[in-house]
Chains A and B, each alone.
Chain A
Amino acid sequence: MSDHHHDHDHGQAPPSDIALRVKALETLLVEKGVVDAAALDAIIETYEHKVGPRNGAKVVARAWTDPAFRTRLLADATAAIAELGFGGRQGEHMVAVENTPAVHNLVVCTLCSCYPWSVLGLPPAWYKAAPYRARSVIEPRAVLAEFDVILASEVEVRVWDSTAEIRYLVIPQRPAGSERLDEAALAALVTRDSMIGTAVLPPVQL
């Protein structure tokens, strides 16, 4: 049976006919004029090349280097992020939560796959899969350990379950050794996972 050839390890390898079924529906919808083929390409181009975690990294680097921006970001993240030109779909209502030596924030959506597209792009497969959604709220430290994040016991973990249309961006701690880097160099250090809360940025080796 063809089922035995499928790799279900990441929940991503499709059955062999799904690509054909998608193509058939797309062809019908384009020929009927329900959708515009060029619009489909433009949407994909947007999320593959324009809207992604580099947006969020710029927000974080600005917060690290501009205390007034950091204050505005923590007070009204939607407006502060809009200053950098980011907003729109799945980023309409933003809240930024800041990691400190005492507090570590972790973002999840237990009910579906809510994620701040405007600053992080589309969510990675693991974020949308059952293990992360089920476990993050009940055993966040075990989840973090699977990302090689081991927190001291005195650090408080705050888990943000995205149950409404508010989208959360974690401001990671600025890495040790980064004091002399400018905003652009700092942005290059910021990873997607650090803005979900599943990574801590390592010290900079100069």
Chain B
Amino acid sequence: MNGIHDMGGMHGFGPIRPERDPPVFHARWEARVLALTLAVGAWGRSNIDAGRHARELQPPDKYLAWPYYQSWFERLVGQVVEQGLVTETELASGQPETTLNPALPADRVAAVLEAGGPSARPISEAPRFGIGDRVRAQTINPPGHTRLPRYVRGRVGIIERDHGGQVLPDTNAHFRGECPQRLYGVRFTGHELWGEGARDSVHLDLWEGYLEPA
């Protein structure tokens, strides 16, 4: 979707405000939101692409205004209801009507975090593109989730890496299957992306279906 999240190349957001030695969390509630999100995720009723898409669907004014972990929290509130982990009634009253067994007990935290969630998948199709091939990122404007940013659509780049098969976010985010495709590292020159006078280069990881020969 052409959402506010797709902000690469936009102007007007102001200075960066680096922090040299920031704490991991600026407030305790931020830490609790991170932990709750990971612990709820352990139920396996959603996936990382659907989670990202849910945040992209947040109203643009709120997406920009909310502190980062508030954006996660608002997502979490919707998620626990959508996934049937709590009811609207329980959310409103704060009183559980039934009880469950946590999907992520404390003694499994280390193992679960160390395992992560690899997204590489074997694929049998031969690569459509080889290293050094010129490719054009497709001009598409899907209303759903995609990881093809607007700033490279229609632009020509060079294949630099073949990362093998990876889960396709465009389908996975909508629970329409992992549909793995080959993922490529693609280099675009600054001149191609931004026009005359731009230097340097930008590298993106793009799925085979995002690309056509150029």
Contact = CB atoms under 8 A, between A and B. Distances in A.
A159 B119 contact: no
Contacts of A118: 116
A36 B112 CA distance: 14
B131 interface: no
Interface stretch (A38-46, A61-69, A177-185): A38-46
Interface string B51-77: 010010000000011011010010011
Contacts of A202: none
A88 interface: yes
A43 B113 contact: yes
Interface string B5-21: 11111110111111100
Contacts, number: 280
Interface in A65-102: 87-93, 95
Interface residues of B, number: 95
B111 to A, nearest CB: 9
Given A29-B40, A33-B102, A9 B86 contact: no
A111 B73 contact: no
Interface centre among B15, B18, B185 (most CB of A within 10 A): B18
Nearest to B205: A164
A134 to B, nearest CB: 4
Interface centre among B14, B98, B193, B204 (most CB of A within 10 A): B204
Contact of B110 (A42, A124, A143, A163): A42
A45 B60 CA distance: 33
Contacts of A95: 161, 185
A23 B9 CA distance: 37
B34 A44 contact: yes
Nearest to A28: B94
B99 A33 contact: yes
A44 B116 contact: no
Contacts of A122: 24, 34
Given A89-B113, A89-B117, A131-B16, 9 more contacts: A12-B68, A28-B86, A88-B114, A122-B34, A131-B14, A137-B8, A138-B194, A159-B202, A165-B48
Interface of B: 5-11, 13-19, 22, 24-29, 31-36, 38-40, 43, 48, 52, 55, 64-65, 67-68, 70, 73, 76-77, 80, 85-86, 90-91, 94-96, 98-106, 108-110, 112-120, 147-149, 151, 161, 163, 166-167, 169, 183, 185, 187, 193-194, 198-207
User: Which are the 10 A-B pairs with shortest beta-carbon distances?
Assistant: A110-B8, A38-B106, A164-B205, A32-B96, A40-B35, A36-B102, A157-B200, A42-B109, A35-B39, A88-B116
Interface of A: 8-15, 18-19, 21-29, 31-36, 38-44, 46-48, 51-52, 87-93, 95, 108, 110-113, 118, 121-122, 124-126, 128-138, 140-141, 143, 146-147, 156-166, 193, 198
